[in-house]
Structure formats: structure tokens, C-alpha cells
């Protein structure tokens, strides 16, 4: 079975120099190829690849297509059974790949998986982008085993069992190539941020399983392209979160959720403003304006998703608001949040 590890690079020469040697050292199978798809970089990324990493296969894209379209264009040029979508700012560990591929090979109903994602800078703790597997709440807010909003937990082995999740992180996503292509890959219109959640929602609603395999672990720097509080990141997160809700929510839930999100988003903008982040507040307003502008082009996507849905009730979508539970009830860990949900379902 052929596996392609694909790193999408945009002006990330420093990360290539730092993390490619580790990836090369801990990826030894002859059935695994390493690719770097360059998204129109203007730094010395290509010079470094040509000088120090001649065994790495290079795919050239003529401009920065963003994460979503960049990966779609790159993967269309690769023949493999499994794609490993790997951020350039990820440090892999010995034996990181075998548990992930092994689980997919042993469980044909699983379409995709991720490892345990730990923080590169605070190595005892989970990292924000994925932690030990992703979920969303009733209003579309993502959270993880090991991370609720901005609070990341210490890894004490509390999430070391394989678990079905709602979404697997794009920082290190292993997915069957056949499934990726059949179900449409990433949505180009997202550009970057939350495109993996949109893809995973489509997979879950069409009957596939997605899991976290914590027997594999990697360390993620995070914010390698945009800092977590950068207004551009705020804009993409808010806009794309609304787009994925519109694309994927069942008809009965669409209006109530978007109605509540109207108030929640403007409350978030107000919080940005009073905490001295006016550019982030403006980004939320712009995200909502652009969401409305993009709705006509997303109607056909929503129609297709609803037609292909085979599983309306997805258990990995929480039935409560993680935002309200966090701020009003003080539930700042996944076990506190999930324990409440389990009690309600019994």
C-alpha cells in the first residue's frame, strides 16, 4: 500500500530546515514518499529543498492557493493509497506513522485518523489544533479531547484510548486517497482554516468513521502561518465556521443555529473591542458580511450534502453549547464537558 506524506509549504523555509530532517529520520518505509508542495513561495524554500533534501519530491504551484485549494491541486498529482496531510511546523516522533496506517488497514470503515497532537513549545500539554481528536458543539464551535476553547490540558494519558471523533486535524491528517477524491476533498472556497472540519462533517454524515489513534504522537508549533490572534485568522475562522454550518446542518437545525450565532458572533466582536483588539472585532463583522455574500454560491453545495447524507444524527456533535458551559459553568476540560453529555444521554 503506497503512502504519500504531503507538506504544503508557503514561505516556510525555516520549518523545512528544522523539521524535515526529523521526518526523514523517522519515516523509513520504502512504501512511503515525502512530497513538498510549494504554494508559490517567495523565500528560499526551493533552494533549501534542492540543496539538502534531494530525496523529497517537489510539486510546484504557481501561486499561493491557500491550504484547501493548494492541497487539492497537489494531491491530484499524486498516486497513493493513503494521503498524510502534514503541516510544515510538525515534529514527528519515532514510530509515528505505523499506528495510523495500521489502524486504517485493520478497520476498513474508518476513512481518516489523526495522532495525538502535543504542543511543541509546552511538550507536556496538548496543542490547540486537534489535541486528541476534534468535536463541535450544537452551535458549531470546535473543541477537542484535551482542549476546550483556549484551555489546553496536560497530557497525563487520560485520552490514550482510540476514540471516534467528529473531525481530525489538518495538522496531521491520514486519509484514504479514494475517500478524499470520492467525497470532493477540501472546499477551495475556504482558502484556509476549518476546511478539514468541513470535509470531516461530510464524511461523518455519509457514514464514515474518523478516529484519533493516540499511540502515535507528534508535536505541533501552531500558528506557523498566522498567529492565533491575527485578524486575518479571526476573519477566516468566523467566516468559514458559518459556511460549514450552512453547508452541512440538517434543515431543521439551520435557522435556529444561524439565528443564535448572529448574537454570539456580535458578542465575540464586542469582547474583542473591549479587550483592546479592534482589528479582530472588525474581522468578525467582515466575516459575517462576506458569509452573506457567499451564500448564493454555496446553495448547490448544501443541496448536494443533504442529498448524500445517510447519517443525520452524528453522536460526536455535542447537544449543548461549549461556550455557555465554559463561561457560565466553568467546564474547561473535555472530560467535564463530555461527562455532562453522557449523563444527559443515559
Domain boundaries, the chain: 3-220, 231-312
Which stretches in the chain have pLDDT values below 70?
223-228, 338-346
Asked if the 3-220 domain carries CATH number 3.90.550.10, the reply is yes
CA Rg value for the chain: 19
Q: What are phi and psi of 222, to 5 degrees?
A: 80, 145
SS3 125: strand
Q: What are phi and psi of 60, to 5 degrees?
A: -100, 125
What's residue 229's pLDDT? Answer: 78
What's residue 226's pLDDT? Answer: 56
SS3 259: helix
Match 453522557 to its residue by C-alpha cell.
342
Positive or negative: CA dihedral 177, 179, 184, 189: negative
User: Hey, which bits of the chain come out as E strands?
Assistant: 3-9, 32-39, 57-61, 82-86, 90-91, 110-119, 134-136, 142-144, 147-148, 151-152, 163-164, 172-176, 209-220
d(CA 16, CA 245): 35
- The continuous run of DSSP H or E covering 254 comes out as helix 251-274
What's residue 336's pLDDT? Answer: 73
What's residue 225's pLDDT? Answer: 57
- The continuous run of DSSP H or E covering 208 comes out as none
pLDDT tens-place string over residues 236-248: 999 999 999 999 9
* Pairing verdict, β 57-61 and 32-39: parallel
What's residue 343's pLDDT? Answer: 33
Helix axes 13-25, 45-52, angle to 10 degrees: 30
Match 461523518 to its residue by C-alpha cell.
204
What's residue 228's pLDDT? Answer: 67
Amino acid at each position: 500500500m503506497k503512502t504519500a506524506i504531503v507538506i504544503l509549504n508557503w514561505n516556510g523555509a525555516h520549518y523545512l530546515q528544522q523539521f524535515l530532517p526529523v521526518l526523514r529520520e523517522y519515516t523509513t518505509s520504502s512504501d512511503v514518499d515525502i512530497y513538498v508542495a510549494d504554494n508559490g513561495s517567495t523565500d528560499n524554500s526551493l533552494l533549501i529543498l534542492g540543496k539538502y533534501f534531494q530525496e523529497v519530491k517537489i510539486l510546484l504551484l504557481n501561486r499561493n492557493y491557500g491550504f484547501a485549494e493548494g492541497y487539492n491541486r497537489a494531491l491530484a498529482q499524486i498516486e497513493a493509497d493513503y494521503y498524510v496531510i502534514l503541516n510544515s511546523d510538525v515534529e514527528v516522533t519515532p514510530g509515528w506513522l505505523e499506528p495510523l496506517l495500521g489502524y486504517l488497514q485493520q478497520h476498513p470503515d474508518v476513512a481518516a485518523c489523526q495522532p495525538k497532537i502535543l504542543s511543541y513549545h509546552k511538550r507536556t500539554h496538548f496543542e490547540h489544533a486537534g489535541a486528541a481528536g476534534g468535536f463541535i458543539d450544537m452551535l458549531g464551535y470546535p473543541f477537542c479531547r484535551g482542549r476546550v476553547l483556549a484551555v489546553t490540558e496536560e497530557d497525563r494519558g487520560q485520552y490514550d484510548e482510540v476514540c471516534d471523533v467528529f473531525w481530525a486535524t489538518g495538522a496531521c491528517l491520514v486519509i484514504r486517497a479514494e475517500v478524499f477524491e470520492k467525497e470532493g476533498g477540501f472546499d477551495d472556497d475556504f482558502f484556509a482554516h476549518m476546511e478539514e472540519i468541513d470535509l470531516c462533517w461530510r464524511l461523518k454524515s455519509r457514514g464514515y468513521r474518523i478516529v484519533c489513534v493516540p499511540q502515535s504522537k507528534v508535536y505541533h508549533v501552531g500558528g506557523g502561518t498566522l498567529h492565533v490572534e491575527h485578524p486575518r485568522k479571526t476573519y477566516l475562522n468566523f467566516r468559514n465556521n458559518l459556511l460549514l454550518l450552512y453547508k452541512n446542518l440538517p434543515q431543521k437545525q439551520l435557522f435556529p443555529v444561524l439565528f443564535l450565532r448572529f448574537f454570539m458572533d456580535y458578542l465575540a466582536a464586542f469582547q474583542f473591542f473591549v479587550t483592546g483588539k479592534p482589528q479582530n472585532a472588525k474581522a468578525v463583522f467582515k466575516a459575517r458580511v462576506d458569509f452573506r455574500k457567499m451564500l448564493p454560491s454555496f446553495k448547490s453545495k448544501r443541496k448536494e450534502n443533504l442529498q448524500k447524507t445517510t447519517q443525520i444524527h452524528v453522536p460526536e456533535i455535542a447537544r449543548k453549547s461549549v461556550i455557555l458551559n465554559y463561561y457560565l459553568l466553568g467546564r474547561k476540560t473535555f472530560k467535564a464537558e463530555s461527562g455532562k453529555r453522557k449523563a444527559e444521554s443515559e
